[in-house]
């Protein structure tokens, strides 16, 4: 039975290739938006895009908005409600009549709100940088091979079945808790260019922090992505099953701090 409830576990933070941490606000607006539909003159206008931080619930709403599962699949619908509305599940699942009403309302809600599900997301990944290179004006990324020709960005990963109500036993092969977006232009990032004056301020700032390793200077990459289509559930070499999407890396920013208040570098795509 997929509905067996077990002890709570901590939710795994968002991942990108390896574990990441989410320090961004749930919603934030960028200073440059995406290209919108062409106007009467045929010229596309810039429109502001709002980037939403992914949650386990949002990941499922995104997958369902692309018909990853059918609303006629009773088990899948139950799992959807566990992940997105666990309080309702806990309160009403044992009452078949009330639960049937909730399922009917949920089917209508999913159908009516597919186009309202966000398509722009952001997530954060910690990285380690080496010593400043005066000749190249920047910091090398340690373990840069992880950022070489990267086409698959793991933008979300959670402990399967873990919700704010506790943890439920859910089959991870059928109902993944991971999201991957495949981008057409591979990401290559081995070096973070930082002007010398800014780099000096960064190093001085780090020197004032406690329990740090100056040989591995930690920084944080915030990725901003756009989801364009759904490609189904796929297996990866790591053994992970994930909802796979096609999309675009819109922008990345590198910050000195996990609160994303001290910018070092940015790149638009």
Q: Judge contact between 45 and 36, C-beta under 8 A.
A: yes
pLDDT of residue 214: 65
Residue 209, pLDDT score: 84
Identify which has the larger pLDDT, 199 or 35: 199
**What per-residue confidence (pLDDT) applies to 46?**
46
Q: What are the helix (H) ranges across 215-269?
A: none
Q: Which is more confidently placed, 17 or 154? A: 154
**Mean pLDDT value of segment 153-158:** 96
Where would I find the beta strands (DSSP E) of the chain?
5-6, 15-16, 18-19, 27-29, 34-38, 44-47, 50-53, 120-129, 138-140, 150-157, 162-163, 166-168, 178-187, 191-193, 217-235, 241-255, 263-268
Contact 230, 243 (CB under 8 A): yes
Report pLDDT for 144. 84
User: Can you give the residue ranges of every domain in the chain?
Assistant: 5-53+122-268
Predicted pLDDT at 43? 44
In this structure, the number of other CB atoms found within 10 A of the CB of residue 72 comes to 8
63-121 pLDDT, tens digit each: 999 999 999 999 999 999 999 999 999 999 999 999 999 999 999 999 999 999 999 99
Tokens of 121: 């997301």
pLDDT in tens, 203-238: 999 988 877 766 688 999 999 999 999 999 999 988
**Nearest by Cα to 14 from 24, 27, 6:** 24
Single out the residue of 220, 197, 175, 195 nearest to residue 64, CA to CA. Answer: 175
DSSP string, 56-71: HHHHHHHHHHTTSS-T
- What is the per-residue burial (b if ≥16 Cβ within 10 Å, else e) of 249-269? bbbbbbbbbbebebebbeeee
pLDDT tens-digit map of 17-45? 333 333 333 333 333 233 333 333 444 44
- Give one DSSP letter per residue of 88-106, joined into a string: HHHHHTT-HHHHHHHHHHH
Does the pTM exceed 0.75?
Answer: yes
Query: What's the rounded mean pLDDT across residues 240-256?
Result: 97
Residue 173 confidence (pLDDT): 94
Average of per-residue pLDDT across 196-205 = 94
Q: Is residue 33 within 8 Å of residue 41, measured between CB atoms?
A: no
pLDDT at position 42? 45
H or E segment and range at residue 207: helix 196-207
Q: Nearest 5 degrees, angle CA 93-CA 95-CA 98?
A: 90
C-alpha–C-alpha distance, residues 266 and 222, integer Å: 9
Which range (41-55, 72-86, 148-162) has the least confidence? 41-55
């Amino acid at each position: 039975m997929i509905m067996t409830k077990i002890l709570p576990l901590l939710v795994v933070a968002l991942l990108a290739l390896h574990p990441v941490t989410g320090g961004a606000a749930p919603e934030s607006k960028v200073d440059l938006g995406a290209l919108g539909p062409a106007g009467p003159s045929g010229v596309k206008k810039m429109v502001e895009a709002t980037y939403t931080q992914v949650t386990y619930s949002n990941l499922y709403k995104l997958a369902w908005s692309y018909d990853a599962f059918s609303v006629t699949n009773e088990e899948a619908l139950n799992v959807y409600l566990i992940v997105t509305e666990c309080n309702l599940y806990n309160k009403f699942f044992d009452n078949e009549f009330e639960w049937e009403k909730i399922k009917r309302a949920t089917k209508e809600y999913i159908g009516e709100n597919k186009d309202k599900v966000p398509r722009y997301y952001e997530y954060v990944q910690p990285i380690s940088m080496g010593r400043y290179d005066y000749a190249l004006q920047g910091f090398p990324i340690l373990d840069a091979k992880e950022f070489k020709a990267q086409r698959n960005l793991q933008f979300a990963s959670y402990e399967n079945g873990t919700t704010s109500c506790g943890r439920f036993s859910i089959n991870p092969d059928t109902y993944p808790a991971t999201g991957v977006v495949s981008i057409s232009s591979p990401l290559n990032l081995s070096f973070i260019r930082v002007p010398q004056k800014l780099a000096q301020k960064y190093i001085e700032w780090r020197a004032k922090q406690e329990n740090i390793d100056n040989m591995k200077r930690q920084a944080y990459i915030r990725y901003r992505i756009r989801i364009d289509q759904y490609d189904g559930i796929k297996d990866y070499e790591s053994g992970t099953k994930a909802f796979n999407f096609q999309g675009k890396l819109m922008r990345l920013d590198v910050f000195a701090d996990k609160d994303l208040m001290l910018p070092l570098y940015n790149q638009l795509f």
